[in-house]
Amino acid sequence: MIMSFLLAAPMPATNAASFNPTHVGSITDDATTELDGAQQIYVSGNYAYVTAGVDDGVEILDISDPANPTHVGAITDDGTTALFGPSGIVVRDDYAYVVSYDSLCSIL
Ligand SMILES: [Ca+2]
């Protein structure tokens, strides 16, 4: 699974058809990152929080440099974290709220 970040120029107010996004950077799933089967992304400040359905986890990326997103940390399902097949995610204050396949919500 490859995550791509697109450079988004300001949307023209009167002519949306002329909006042309361009590729800026990406990061690929590997043994360190938990991005296999990425489902949803939530961006808060300089961080992106990604749920990964195949890796059964949540990946946290530093996106302060969109051309070079970097791994910050991750948490995976271990039987107590209830992150089997995570999909939706919302981050508020110091917590991430995650909906996964077999549970309503996890707080990280
Ligand atoms: Ca992985």
User: What digits encode the pLDDT tens for the residues 71-100?
Assistant: 999 999 998 888 999 999 999 988 999 999
Ligand 1 centre from 38 Cα, in Å?
10
Helices in 32-91 by DSSP H: which ranges? none
User: What's the average model confidence in pLDDT over 10-17?
Assistant: 59
- Count of domains forming the chain: 1
Ligand 1 centre from 56 Cα, in Å?
9
Ligand 1 centre from 37 Cα, in Å?
9
> CA of 85: how far to CAs of 10, 37, 53, in Å?
35, 9, 4
Ligand 1 centre from 93 Cα, in Å?
26
Does some domain include residue 18? no
Q: Tell me the per-residue pLDDT of 52-71, one tens digit each, with 9 for 90 and over.
A: 999 999 999 999 999 999 99
Does some domain include residue 15? no
Which structural domain range is residue 99 located in?
2-6+24-107
Does some domain include residue 65? yes
Does some domain include residue 13? no
Give the closest residue to 61 by CA, choosing from 84, 45, 77: 45
> CA of 75: how far to CAs of 5, 30, 36, in Å?
22, 14, 13
Ligand 1 centre from 66 Cα, in Å?
20
pLDDT at 102: 73
Does some domain include residue 95? yes
Q: How many Å apart are CA 63 and CA 28, to the nearest integer?
A: 14
Does some domain include residue 40? yes
